[in-house]
């Protein structure tokens, strides 16, 4: 499969801050690629370089074979981006913004009117078409920003935090619309710090942290790559002493044990062979097990394994 985007030794500095640090990555034509990481990890900077908004400090990005450094005008013919923060003149009306955008990307006036109405209705903002952009809620401003890409339907569609500020129902609608873009032939990049979004949409996921790519693969490959990839999760009555924790750790060769209130998560290999032993150790220690189950790791576990950090609560 030919790469749609090839990122080569990409570096971006802002003063003394290294936002992207020697990034190498290939994204294939026709896939939905998830770029997962907290705010400040370098995701948005990478997307802005791909879309030619920023120039790299060093390195290059090739979009369908065109260099963002030397052939920026050609790259822009292929790329559309929905920014993390909606971009529009606050004195404009959503319908006027999107009608202008549709004509800029090549629609006739008649087709522009039709497609703008279709997309605004699908996103639930048609009724707000004649309000000033400044009067819209944060969620509706975000929908107008997303509508630009769904109208344009570019060969490379880039979404930066596409469902931030959106309610659950609208999130699922936007996810379906992104999947439809891929069906219609677009290559899609979605930058997100939401695990559910990355897992729902992505054929492959790249985990970024502090400007570097820490892991790359399908969701299944990333989960399978964690030592102690099975999780024995137990809900117990009473406190669990350090002696019991250490007994469990040594007996089942636990890679890691997390204890939060009454829930204990034990990371092991071949958990199906060890779950009975865990129950027995709790029983011998006088701990009543109310519930126990065997689970596969989540993308939260993957992120923690590769970065040593929790995704939730990370700041810029």
pLDDT number for residue 283 = 92
Q: Which residue in this structure is represented by tokens 């569609």?
A: 157
Task: Give residue 1's pLDDT.
Answer: 67
**Backbone φ, ψ for residue 236 (5° rounding):** -125, 160
Chain segment 31-86, per-residue pLDDT in tens? 999 999 988 899 999 999 999 999 999 999 999 999 999 999 999 999 999 999 99
- DSSP string of 172-235, one letter each residue: HHHHHHHHHHHHTT-EEEEEES-HHHHHHH-SEEEEEETTEEEEEE-HHHHHHTSSS-EEEEEE
The predicted pLDDT at position 311 comes to 57
- Structure confidence at residue 297 (pLDDT): 81
What is residue 227's predicted lDDT score, i.e. its pLDDT?
79
Domains of the chain and CATH, by start? 3-223 (3.40.50.300), 228-296 (3.30.70.980)
pLDDT tens for the chain, 316 residues: list them: 679 999 999 999 999 999 999 999 999 999 999 999 988 899 999 999 999 999 999 999 999 999 999 999 999 999 999 999 998 876 699 999 999 999 999 999 999 999 999 999 999 999 999 999 999 999 999 999 999 999 999 999 999 999 999 999 999 999 999 999 999 999 999 999 888 999 999 999 999 999 999 999 999 899 888 877 789 999 999 888 899 999 999 999 999 899 888 899 999 988 889 999 999 999 999 999 999 999 888 888 888 888 887 655 443 3
pLDDT of residue 169: 94
Copy the structure tokens of residue 134: 């400044």
DSSP single-letter state for residue 269: S
Phi, psi dihedral angles at 265 (to 5 degrees): -115, 120
pLDDT at 223: 86
């Amino acid at each position: 499969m030919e790469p749609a985007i090839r990122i080569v030794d990409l570096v971006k500095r802002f003063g003394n801050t290294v936002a992207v640090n020697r990034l190498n990555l290939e994204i294939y034509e026709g896939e939905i690629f998830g770029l997962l990481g907290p705010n400040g990890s370098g995701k948005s900077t990478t997307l802005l370089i791909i879309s030619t908004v920023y120039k790299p400090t060093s390195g290059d990005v090739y979009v369908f074979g065109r260099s963002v450094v030397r052939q920026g005008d050609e790259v822009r013919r292929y790329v559309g981006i929905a920014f993390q923060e909606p971009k529009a003149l606050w004195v404009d009306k959503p319908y006027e913004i999107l009608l202008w955008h549709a004509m800029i990307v090549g629609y006739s006036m008649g087709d522009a009117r039709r497609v703008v109405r279709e997309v605004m209705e699908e996103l639930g903002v048609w009724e707000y078409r004649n309000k000033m952009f400044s009067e819209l809620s944060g969620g509706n401003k975000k929908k107008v920003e997303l509508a630009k890409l769904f109208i344009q339907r570019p060969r490379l569609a880039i979404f930066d935090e596409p469902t931030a500020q959106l309610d659950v129902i609208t999130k699922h609608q936007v996810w379906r619309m992104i999947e439809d873009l891929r069906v219609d032939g677009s290559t899609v990049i979605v930058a997100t710090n939401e695990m559910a979004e990355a897992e729902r949409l992505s054929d492959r996921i790249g985990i970024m942290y502090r400007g570097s790519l820490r892991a790359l693969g399908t969701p299944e490959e990333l989960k399978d790559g964690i030592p102690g990839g099975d999780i024995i999760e137990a809900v117990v009555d009473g406190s669990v002493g350090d002696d019991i924790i250490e007994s469990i750790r040594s007996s089942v060769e636990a890679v890691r044990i997390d204890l939060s209130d009454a829930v204990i998560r034990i990371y092991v290999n071949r958990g199906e062979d060890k779950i009975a032993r865990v129950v027995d150790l709790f029983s011998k220690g006088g701990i009543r097990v109310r519930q126990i189950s065997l689970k596969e790791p989540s993308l939260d576990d993957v992120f923690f394994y590769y970065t040593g950090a929790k995704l939730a609560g990370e700041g810029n």
